[in-house]
Structure 1
Amino acid sequence: MESTRKHLPPLPMLLGFVVAARHGTISQAARETGLTQGAVSRQIASLEGWVGCELFDRVGRNVVLNAAGTTYLGEIEPALRRIARATGKLMSTPGGRIVEIATLPSFGMRWLAPRWSRLSALHPDLTVNISARSEEFDFAVEPFDLAVHVGQADWPNAQHDLLFSERVVPVVAPALVRDRAIRSPSDLRNIPLLVQSRRKDAWKRWFEIVSVPYEEPPSTTSVAHFLMLAQAVAAGAGAALLPTFLIEAELQSGSLVVPFDIPLDEDRSYYLVYPKENLEKQAVRQVRDFICGEASGHQA
């Protein structure tokens, strides 16, 4: 503990340094903090004395971060923000019944959101914040308790709960099946085949599964997001290979149909990931158990 105190400057010094770095002048930093310019200058001087080096270059009335100051700011500012967020969460929900989830946008919109009323019924005192994140992050730096991950069980320093494996099938608008007389897999070659921009070889692989010769067309409509792709197919633009969990609503309403229930082999699964110690928080355990339970029902 003595070592921790030695390397942990008082918070007012750190705040004075961060605000001055943000504004580049002592006067503006003083206005933001409600202190005098002399007080802010003393905070910065005290911090520089504490760490044993200068953090700013003084240019007239302005202060400009030097190399050491820039590095130091990059290290401590995210930590101060995390402290502020954690304190704000605790103040707004004193019992700590708040859970932060990071998820892929499409997964959050199409799989999590429709199920959230059931979680609220089970735990009405829970507050769950869902943020869209497409890339991996460090749980030690970001404020999230849980995250949804697609691919392999390879998120660093995290536990992985398998939710379900991705099932990708061909889908078309029902009118297109009727108007273009789609009766066998080979008939799909006679209509536009849309692709998701990151899976441009999907149709080639699917036709190999059904043993149908396929020649890549000179141009193919490519769409970045699966939900946009589903909307285009429902409007009659062609056929696409889509994960079934993203189009449950369209399949139930009949705006999309699966002409051939032959899935594309995809080595991709969806996982709920989190640091093991996060389950020490009851609210996180409850959300984790709910999501895993819903995934079991989905697989069934």
Structure 2
Amino acid sequence: MIAPRRFLPSIPSLLALEAVDRLGSASAAAEDLSLTQSAISRQLKQLEEQMGVDLIARDQMRMQLTPAGTGFAKEARAILTRLAQASVKLRANPDGGSFTLSILPSFGLHWLAPRLREFAAAHPGITVNLHTHNLPFSFDAGTAQAAIHYGTRDWPGVAYLPLMPKHVLPVCAPGLMAGPVSAPADLLDYPLLHLETHPDCWEQWFHLHDVPAAKLRGMLFDQSSAMTQGAVHGLGVALLPDFLAENEIAQGRLALAMEGAAVRLGEYFLVWPADQAEEYPLIKFREWLLSQLGEV
């Protein structure tokens, strides 16, 4: 339900408030918005009268916002940004068939992206906009309507669609070792590569193999793609998702550091806020994902 009209300020007044907060003066705000300083002052005065709150500290030589004005400007900036983004999406997709999906780089680019052509062919009226993110991730901080999440069901306020377990394989450059090691503990003799977003992956892996290992050291990477390149160039052994590792092995860029089945570490989910559950593009995307999972 939308609030009564008296609580809804005009867009010009919000733009004036945001510009003064961002630029620090009425003259700069006026130039930014192609208005006069008097027009800026008039918009702010109307906003104060409508809200019944002082937004301008008038005892200052320069126009400055009160703490209440600064806080309101921050909220206005977020709302105006989302409105602008929604307008861009509407112009690009006049049928209303679009949504933004925030993806983990490795899963999104190597598993999901190659399959999206099929979704686009089946649903030509729906556009999926992709943004990449690393953990942690919050819907409050962006404009995504859904996201690919890795880990456990520990994200409050969202709905989950389980996608697949994350299975990892230890891999390295073919020249790093003479051949795959025969025992998990043998990998402790080699440099291990770590990912910032999952810094305990190696410890989990060794624990599942009943090998005591704690406070493991090694090079740290912020992206799976960077860690993959590090492994390719012989910097150490990396734990990569099986769909990524198998592709690199097939191309001869990487090799198994130890024979054996992939180990499960967590799970991939599609997650979305409860208030987005009935959005048509998201419904069709979930249905399509379920059909893809039947083929995995």
Superposition TM-score, scaled by structure 1 size: 0.82
User: After superposition, where does 1:47-196 map in structure 2 within 5 Å?
Assistant: 47-58=47-58, 59-60=60-61, 62-134=62-134, 135-138=136-139, 142-176=142-176, 180-182=178-180, 184-185=182-183, 188-189=186-187, 192-196=190-194
Residues 164 and 24 (structure 1 numbering): CA distance in 2 closer, same or farther, change over 3 Å?
A: same
1:237-256 mapped onto 2 (5 Å cutoff):
237-256=235-254
Between 279-288 and 187-196, the greater mean CA deviation after superposition: 187-196
Give me the whole-angstrom Cα distance separating, in 2, the residues matched to 1:2 and 1:167.
46
Q: Give the SS at the match of 1:272.
A: strand
- Shifted more, 197-206 versus 227-236: the winner is 197-206
Correspondence 1:273 to 2:271: yes
Identity of aligned residues (%): 31
SS of the residue 1:260 aligns to? coil
Q: Which amino acid aligns with 2:48?
A: E
Task: Give 3-state SS (helix, strand or coil) of 1:153's partner.
Answer: coil
1:186 and 1:19 map into 2 onto residues whose CA distance is: 59
Asked whether the equivalents of residues 151 and 268 of structure 2 are also in contact (C-alpha less than 8 Å), the reply is yes
Are the counterparts in 2 of residues 196 and 225 from structure 1 also a CA contact under 8 Å? no
Aligned to 1:295: 293
Secondary structure, counterpart of 1:167 in structure 2:
strand
Larger radius of gyration: 1
**Superposed CA RMSD:** 3.0
Q: Please say which of residues 198-207 and 115-124 is displaced more in the overlay.
A: 198-207
**CA apart distance, 1:193:** 3.7
Say if 1:3 and 1:85 are closer, same or farther in 2 by CA, change over 3 A. Answer: closer
1:22 matched to 2:25: no
Determine helix, strand or coil for the equivalent of 2:63: strand
**TM-score normalized with structure 2 length:** 0.83
* Higher mean C-alpha deviation, range 144-153 or range 103-112: 103-112
How many pairs align? 292
- Between the aligned partners of 1:65 and 1:215, the Cα distance in structure 2 is 55
Partners of 1:210 and 1:83 lie apart in 2 by 51
Q: CA deviation at 1:206?
A: 4.0
How many Å separate the matches in 2 of 1:265 and 1:173?
22
Residue 39 of structure 1 deviates from its aligned partner by 2.4
Alignment match, 1:8: 8
Q: Note the alpha carbon deviations across 1:234-278, whole angstroms, 9 max, x for none.
A: 334443322213334213324333342244452x11110112443
